[in-house]
Amino acid sequence: MSFLREISPLVKNTFLSERDVLSICAAQIAAEIQQDERKNYNEVLDLSSGDLHRGGIKSITFVRQVLAACFYPALLEDDSLPLDVKQRADGLLRQCDGGSVGSYTDSCGIVKIKQCVSKFITRRDGGVPSSPDNIFITSGSQMLMLKLLVQSGGSCRTGVLIPVPTYATFTQALEDQGAAIIPYHLCEEQGWTLQVEELRRALHAGRRTCNPVALYICNPGNPTGIIQSRKSIEEVIRFAAEERLFLLADEVYQSCVYGEDTEFESYKKVLSEMGSTIASTVELASFNSASKGFMGECGLRGGYVELVNLDPAVKEYTRTLFSTRSSPPVGGQIALDLMTDPPKPGDPSFLTFSEVEVFGEIPGISCQPLKAGFFVFPCLHLPLRAIKWAKKKQMEPDMLYCLHLLEETGLHVRPGCEFGQRKDSYHFRFDTMEDALQRLKTFHKQFMKEFS
């Protein structure tokens, strides 16, 4: 274990998070592999960011062909590209000023693409109307919405309810904006479900120190891999209505849903069916991204937010906030167009999708089944000796596990302490790739033996 000795001072360093430390180690191992200094595996498998392409999964040909033709329109004359690719690229270029993807666009996004997103939402929600006017295309981050919320909080510090465990980037962004984080715990024993009682407890606790204005939900869940039932969504909406909370629905995994009886229903759709008082008053922002779903185009930076029930003045203000930024990247905008209006059956580029493997069983690990999203969040039942050893090294026990896993197998995953978890429980976030699963199984048995 070449670097485990040196690592704990790094972890204590305020500048380096667990994430940084693991990344540095992963890079070091990769360099060692290149110099033939490692024998037991021949590549680091990076499962740390939920990045399909990094994990080696292929991009969708249609998407890449359209992008190439948009960037280099001479390809529109090329016989090797399918007709629907050329038509789509040609149509998109007509929407760009000067016919070029090199132009700035409206800072809320290209109008035609917002229309495309809006039609997609209407189809997704079985006809619930959506207006392009409520769609704001972003570079994949939700920063501006947060800014809006944080600014509208008045004199007391703005609070936002955030699940534990959660997608950490969002929490960091909020803290960055000066917001107070109010944690609510998801119930692991009941499949990481969201309990309104727990929301209420968290809200009341939060009210003692800040001004809670919003509730963030991630559905399908990252890192939990679960999907909320309709009943649960209704409860959350009713709670938000009673407590006058703004709902932030992170629905970026909406098209990753597995199994017969699991179906994604958007907060917007459920809200629209809850009777006119609630349906017309609860404020909602719903996020989606080209980084996830069947696209997996993280590098292009394309996302959008749909605003529901916002006061017209606030919406106008949002537009003003956006207009002080420059355009979202055009490549990302194109990706959104293709994601929300993919080729149809009969089109030359009609897509087929492959199924996703489900997580197996390993002693010392218990795991809620993967229903949706990219990830599961298995619970580690670690031997006491491992826990003690980690504490001695001033390290979280699941961080220790992840470091060993990386060192021994080249699997780069992220420890539960980064996402949040109940005290004295340990987890890691895992991606259900077959190769990764094999490496994990072998390692885990050995680790448990070593520390028991």
Ligand X SMILES: Cc1ncc(COP(=O)(O)O)c(C=O)c1O
Terminal-to-terminal C-alpha distance of the chain: 19
Q: Which of 2, 40, 152, 172 binds a second copy (CB under 8 A)?
A: 172
Q: Is 186 in the site for ligand X (CB under 6 A)?
A: no
Which range of residues in 1-9, 101-109, 155-163, 275-283 is near a second copy by CB under 8 A?
A: 101-109
User: Is position 298 an interface residue for ligand X (rule: CB under 6 A)?
Assistant: yes
Which of a second copy, ligand X, none lies near 218, with the C-beta cut-off 5 to 8 A by kind?
ligand X
CA distance 277 to 351: 41
Q: Tokens 């690990």 belong to which residue?
A: 365
Count of residues interacting with ligand X (CB under 6 A): 13
Please list the residues that pair with 246 across neighbouring strands. Answer: 214
**Residue 134 sits in the site that holds a second copy (CB under 8 A):** no
Which among 284, 224, 231, 286 has a CA at the least distance from the CA of 254?
Answer: 286
Work out how close the CB of 285 gets to ligand X at its nearest, in angstroms, rounded to a whole number.
12
Residue from 394, 389, 418, 413 nearest 403 by CA:
413
Kindly tell me which of 75 and 356 has the beta carbon lying closer to a second copy: 75
Residue 263 sits in the site that holds a second copy (CB under 8 A): no
Least distance between ligand X and beta carbon 51 (Å): 8
Q: Which is nearer to ligand X, 212 or 303 (CB)?
A: 303
192 lies in the site for ligand X, by CB under 6 A: no
Nearest Cα residue to 328 out of 298, 292, 294, 304: 304
* Contact predicate 263/257, CB 8 Å: yes
Contact flag: residue 52 with a second copy (CB under 8 A): yes
Among 137, 203, 168, smallest CA distance to 377 is for 168
DSSP β-bridge partners for residue 431: 375
Q: Is 172 left (phi over 0), alpha (psi -120 to 50) or beta?
A: alpha
Cβ atoms of 383 and 397 closer than 8 Å: no
If binding is defined by CB under 8 A, does position 330 make contact with a second copy?
yes
Q: Interior CA angle at 315 toward 273 and 153, to 5°?
A: 95
Instruction: Tell the residue number behind the tokens 């001072």, with chain if given.
Output: 9
Q: Please give the Cα distance from 250 to 224 (Å, whole number).
A: 13
Q: What's the CA gap between 235 and 223, in Å, rounded?
A: 22
> According to the binding rule CB under 6 A, does residue 419 interact with ligand X?
no
Q: Which of the choices ligand X, a second copy, none does residue 222 contact, using the CB cut-off of 5 to 8 A by kind? A: ligand X
Taking CB under 6 A as the rule, does residue 376 contact ligand X?
no
Q: Which of residues 139-158 bind ligand X (CB under 6 A)?
A: 140-141
Nearer to ligand X, 33 or 321 (CB): 321
Nearer to ligand X, 303 or 378 (CB): 303
Asked if 289 is part of the footprint of ligand X (rule: CB under 6 A), the reply reads: yes
DSSP designation for 244 = T
Helix (H, G, I), strand (E, B) or coil at 242: helix
Answer with the entry of ligand X, a second copy, none that 102 interacts with (C-beta below 5 to 8 A by kind). Answer: a second copy
Decide if residue 100 touches a second copy (CB under 8 A).
Answer: yes
Q: Could you tell me the maximum CA-CA distance found in the chain, to the nearest angstrom?
A: 68
Computed over its alpha carbons, how large is the radius of gyration of the chain? 23
For 41-55, letters b (16+ CB in 10 Å) and e give eeebbbbbbbbbebb
Q: Which stretch binds a second copy (CB under 8 A): 212-220, 314-322, 374-382, 421-429?
A: 314-322
The answer to whether 279 and 271 have CB atoms below 8 angstroms apart is yes
Task: Determine which residue in the list 268, 301, 414, 444 makes contact with a second copy, applying CB under 8 A.
Answer: 301
**Site size with a second copy, rule: CB under 8 A:** 67
Which region among 115-123, 158-166, 330-338, 376-384 touches a second copy (by CB under 8 A)? 330-338
Query: Which residues lie near a second copy (CB under 8 A)?
Result: 15, 17, 19-20, 46, 49, 51-57, 59, 61, 64-65, 67-69, 71-75, 78, 80, 96-98, 100-105, 139-141, 143, 147, 169, 172-173, 176, 291, 296-301, 316-317, 319-321, 323-332
Query: Which residues lie near ligand X (CB under 6 A)?
Result: 50, 140-141, 167, 218, 222, 250, 252, 289, 291, 298, 303, 326
